[in-house]
Structure 1
Amino acid sequence: MGHMASASDTWKNKAFAQCTPTELNTLRKLISTLRVSPPVRRTRRIRPKLRGSKLHMRKMVRETMRTFGDPNTLFFTQRKIKLRPIVFILDVSGSMADYSRNLLQFAYSARRANAKVEVFCFGSRLTRITNSLSKRSPDEAMEKAGNEVLDWDGGTRIGDSLKTYVNDWGRTRIGRGAIVIICSDGLDRGYPEVLAKAMDDLSRLSYRILWMNPHKGDAQNFEPNTLGMIVADPFIDEVFSGHNLKSLEEFSHRLVSLR
């Protein structure tokens, strides 16, 4: 564990693309320990509690009837709290080869921490790998996910893949009101109008759209420089990098604070 902590301090700021295979192996173990917690939301549904400022009238009426007009307990209202669903959509095309494995490891950590996390991969087509990432062993999960995704390290069709997500999943309980995290460099070989329409539809169905682009690096004022990013930019709520361990830690902290 001491070696792991030392490695974390040494390589935290080093871009994954610049790491040796040994360094990447250690970093992936560290990524698997990150706690990725979704933010919570208050629902319209009310539940009773024993303390508060507003009485739960329906519960109080029942309690009064049960005790023949002499209730010995006061019930107050509290809105039910639910975890907001999270959807990862990961670009595993050739241009993302230096980062896709580490971002998949990050999504695995999120999935292991909470069942309301869904994970999809895409190159030229979309593949849902959520069930594969439910494996207890990270190595088994990565291997099974890798076997499911047939277009790994191939071409990129972001718009078509997002269109598939919107049509097949976006209007279900998985997608509605979710925080969607797209991890891609924005290099798209598809039609810009398809991507624009898919992003527009996605923004209407989702609570937030967050985009991880490793090429952002440590830049504070990132300007989109690929056609895919330029087309998608108007629909994105925040852009992150995800290019090293430090940026993934920062993203984890930001994610839980979203309201």
Structure 2
Amino acid sequence: MPEFVRLLVDFSRELRTEGLAVGTGDVQAFCGALATLDPADLVDLYWAGRTTLVNRRDDLAPYDEVFHRFFLGAAAPPAALLELKATPAGAVAESTFVVPATEPGTSETEEASLGLLASTVDVMRHRSFAECTDDELALLRRIMARIRLTPPRRVTRRTRPATSGRALDMRRTVRRSMRTHGELVSLYWRRRRVRPRPLVLVLDVSGSMADYSRALLQFAHSTRRAARRVEVFCFGTRLTCITRALRTRSPDEALRQAALAVIDWEGGTRIGASVDAFVRRWGRRGVCRGGIVVICSDGLDRGDPSLLEKSMARLSRLCHQVVWLNPHGSSGARSVGMMVAEPYVDHVLSGHDLASLEDFAALLPTLS
């Protein structure tokens, strides 16, 4: 993923600024190590960088400081330990992740701390956004930013030159044969182009989605930075495009600008009118043509059900597939809005925790 590789390169540059001798080969080894590990796990991320980017014992303390500042967004003294605190449900009141500046495996306390962080992050993945505190949402945001999101691809009608294929490039073959007095020495081929499908996120920010809207906006910001053709919309009683607001690199600044753009935050819900406005203003202009439309809502609609049915039918004809993320799960599936929209939805998933968003990211490449 280019965005994630760029993040690792920026981290390596920060290490060079602190005086560490990090070469191009070390950065390649760092990226190769994370290709076989879980980059969303801070333990894997820390030790992958420490074993590939640190060549001297004197560089351990600067590495810990840069890692703490770059990935956790806080400053720490050079001799301090790397700490990450969280309070998951069903666990101890305060769990601490400590990575000391010594070699791994030299202390039983260190091994217990590493295992504690791994279990803490795993618990956080399966914890509902509605039950998370602000600090826990900040932790989930850092993990969410590293989700590997790959939009599905489609085969276009346009072709490109290729070394092999099923369609002969007659123009290129005849032109090259003129160099050999008309003798066909080599055959040239063309192959159809493959391009990513557009991805459209339509997020419900009404009052019934207040416990999930911020986390879903953070996921939309990460998606906007990970994929190219991504459009993001919010709706409550009306539809608002926030794609431009999410272009900012800082998640906090992006959420602040999105909150300023949306004037009906935590208000009523009119799903049918909002989807109809999207189809008429953006859908017919080709924004979602051949793409994947993801609607994140609980289906609690206060508008006209017939309008919702008509707009969903038009939307399903315009786009390739419609995916509905329902944070309320089975309870939201019994709402009138969900019953009306479900015949026009290809996949109904849950979006109440980080694990469900990871499942959606794994499903997305298969929707081609």
**TM bucket normalised to smaller:** over 0.9
Contact 2:234 2:240 survives alignment (8 Å):
yes
Contact 2:150 2:365 survives alignment (8 Å):
yes
Deviation at 1:146, TM superposition (A): 1.1
2:297 corresponds to which of 155, 179, 184:
184
Paired position in structure 2 for 1:154: 267
Deviation at 1:53, TM superposition (A): 4.7
Deviation at 1:71, TM superposition (A): 5.4
Deviation at 1:109, TM superposition (A): 1.2
Q: SS state of the match for residue 165, structure 2?
A: coil
- The structure carrying a bigger helix percent of its residues is 2
1:120 corresponds to which of 226, 233, 236:
233
Q: How many residues align?
A: 255
Matched, 1:32 2:32: no
Paired position in structure 1 for 2:195: 82
2:174 corresponds to which of 61, 80, 84:
61
Relative CO higher for 1 or 2, CA cutoff 8 Å, sep ≥ 6? 1
Give CA-to-partner distance per residue, 1:27-74, whole Å, 9 cap, x none.
122112212221110111111111335432232122223543245543
Give CA-to-partner distance per residue, 1:180-227, whole Å, 9 cap, x none.
0000000011010110111011111010010000111xx7xx882001
Paired position in structure 2 for 1:241: 350
- The 1:63/1:201 distance shift into structure 2, 3 A limit, reads same
Unaligned runs of at least 5 residues, structure 2: 1-41, 44-83, 85-96, 98-116
1:109 corresponds to which of 219, 222, 231:
222
Matched, 1:229 2:342: no
Unaligned runs of at least 5 residues, structure 1: none
Q: SS state of the match for residue 171, structure 1?
A: helix
TM-score of the two chains, using structure 1 as the length reference: 0.92
Distance 2:201 2:180 in 1: 52
Distance 1:173 1:66 in 2: 44
Q: Which moved more, 1:57-66 or 1:206-215?
A: 57-66
Q: SS state of the match for residue 168, structure 2?
A: coil
Distance 2:320 2:361 in 1: 17
Alignment of 1:121-136 (within 5 A): 121-136=234-249
Q: Which has the larger radius of gyration?
A: 2
- The 1:133/1:71 distance shift into structure 2, 3 A limit, reads farther
Give CA-to-partner distance per residue, 1:106-159, whole Å, 9 cap, x none.
111111112200000000000000011111111111111111011111110000
Deviation at 1:83, TM superposition (A): 0.6
Paired position in structure 1 for 2:212: 99
Contact 1:162 1:199 survives alignment (8 Å):
yes
Distance 1:62 1:83 in 2: 32
Matched, 1:196 2:313: no
* Equivalent position amino acid for 1:135 in 2: T
Contact 2:292 2:320 survives alignment (8 Å):
yes
Distance 1:74 1:110 in 2: 42
Distance 2:286 2:179 in 1: 38
TM-score of the two chains, using structure 2 as the length reference: 0.66
- Alpha carbon RMSD of aligned pairs, Å? 1.8
Distance 2:122 2:318 in 1: 39
Paired position in structure 2 for 1:257: 366
Distance 2:270 2:178 in 1: 63
* Equivalent position amino acid for 1:83 in 2: P
Deviation at 1:100, TM superposition (A): 1.0
Contact 1:37 1:110 survives alignment (8 Å):
no
Q: SS state of the match for residue 254, structure 2?
A: helix
Contact 1:87 1:118 survives alignment (8 Å):
yes
Q: Which moved more, 1:50-59 or 1:75-84?
A: 50-59
Paired position in structure 2 for 1:43: 156
Contact 2:202 2:235 survives alignment (8 Å):
yes
Distance 2:328 2:342 in 1: 15
